[in-house]
Amino acid sequence: MVLTQGVFVGVSVAYVTFADPDGLDDEKEVAVAAWAEEGITGRIARWDDPGVDWAAFDAVVVRTPWDYVSRRAEFLAWAHRTEAVTRLFNPAAVLERNTDKVYLRDLDVPSIPTYWVAPGEAVDFPVLGEYVVKPSISAGARDTIRTGDRKEAEAHAARLAAGGRTAMVQPYLDMVETEGETSLLYFGGRFSHAIRRNAMLVESATRPGRGNDHGEPRVPEPDQIALAERVLGEFPEVLYARVDLVRLADGSPALIEVELTEPYLFLRYVPGAAATLARALAEAL
Ligand SMILES: Nc1ncnc2c1ncn2[C@@H]1O[C@H](COP(=O)(O)OP(=O)(O)O)[C@@H](O)[C@H]1O
Ligand SMILES: [Mg+2]
């Protein structure tokens, strides 16, 4: 690659998605169009396409491999293989750590109180009112339940553990339906935009029994920015990050998860967001 008047010439970068039979990723085109403005030729490719020569790219940006949950080992093996031949964003070690929410236990930031049930462990948690029970490896609230019935919560945790998965048991925070979850997007370590996300464990007109994962732009509060930046301090090497925050009963902000693998980035919601990501990518190259 060469740099001519601040613009790359002949740089090619893969935008990594999955087979996506339903066309769920509706931001790949806007992302790649913004890369072109930086002189970066983007090519949309499936992570599991055996015909792709990853070494031919100057960099590979993991974006929407939304089928990795049931194929995590295969996906991580692909990430490590790819990183051996080109630059991978985010790095394979980050993807490996971030695709299992057990990382939440090791982060020195406030998160939702969680009772963990690993395979072979007894199911043991206190009375919490309403419960959320979810697998530690998940996305899009897959295999996640919300219930006021303690027996049902125990049974779901036991079922996940019996299937070799680690279950997470949390109190249901109803603020996700009022204030809403706040997602802060950072590109190249710099704040880009924030989104109020809709609650997912509710009935919705579009997806009965399950809300949708979209939302609207929001201005984050200073305490949310402070927490998001503490979280990001733990992952200095990432190109893109989405820090998903809730509030606990006492009003203090807490991390629900940090998405460093396959976050939807809400690029079409805020003017300039795709350009900010493209600039961060150009700088990283
Ligand atoms: N403890 C909780 N209280 C309220 N809602 C929750 C809770 N945990 C998860 N949810 C809902 O389920 C969604 C998905 O859960 P999350 O932990 O973000 O896992 P993932 O997005 O990886 O499936 C959240 O965005 C939120 O709407
Ligand atoms: Mg989430």
Q: Along the chain (285 residues), what's the average pLDDT of each consecutive run of 10 residues?
A: 62 97 96 98 98 98 96 98 98 98 97 97 94 96 95 97 97 96 97 96 75 87 98 96 97 98 97 98 97
- 202 and 244 in a single domain? The answer is yes
Q: What is the CATH number of the domain that holds 210?
A: 3.30.470.20
In a domain, 274, yes or no: no
Ligand 1 centroid from CA 200, angstroms: 7
* Structural element, H or E, at residue 83: helix 72-83
- 185 and 248 in a single domain? The answer is yes
- 137 and 208 in a single domain? The answer is no
131 neighbors 188 (Cβ within 8 angstroms):
no
In a domain, 275, yes or no: no
Ligand 2 centroid from CA 81, angstroms: 27
Helix (H, G, I), strand (E, B) or coil at 135: strand
Ligand 1 centroid from CA 151, angstroms: 20
Ligand nearest to the CA of 198: 1
For residue 268, the model assigns a pLDDT of 96
Query: By residue range, what is the domain housing residue 199?
Result: 103-109+174-266
For residue 8, the model assigns a pLDDT of 62
Ligand 2 centroid from CA 195, angstroms: 13
- Residue 14 phi/psi, 5° resolution? -90, 140
Whole-number Å distance between alpha carbons of 176 and 240: 24
In a domain, 139, yes or no: yes
For residue 9, the model assigns a pLDDT of 63
- 146 and 203 in a single domain? The answer is no
For residue 204, the model assigns a pLDDT of 74
Ligand nearest to the CA of 138: 1
Among 68, 134, 142, say which to mutate for ligand 1: greatest number of ligand atoms within 8 Å of CB. 134
- 220 and 261 in a single domain? The answer is yes
In a domain, 277, yes or no: no
* Structural element, H or E, at residue 89: strand 87-89
Quote the number of domains for the chain.
Answer: 3
For residue 213, the model assigns a pLDDT of 75
User: Which among 131, 100, 96 has a CA at the least distance from the CA of 113?
Assistant: 131
Residues flanking ligand 1, CB < 6 Å: 112, 132, 134, 138-141, 144, 170, 172-173, 176, 181, 199-201, 244, 256-257
Protein residue with its CA nearest to atom 9 in ligand 1: 132
Within 13 Å of residue 99, how many CA atoms lie on the same side as its CB? Answer: 25
In a domain, 282, yes or no: no
For residue 10, the model assigns a pLDDT of 84
For residue 208, the model assigns a pLDDT of 67
44 neighbors 61 (Cβ within 8 angstroms):
no
Burial 86-120 (b: 16+ CB within 10 A, else e): bbbbbbbebbbbbbebebbeeeebebbebbbbeee
For residue 7, the model assigns a pLDDT of 59
Among 111, 201, 261, say which to mutate for ligand 1: greatest number of ligand atoms within 8 Å of CB. 201
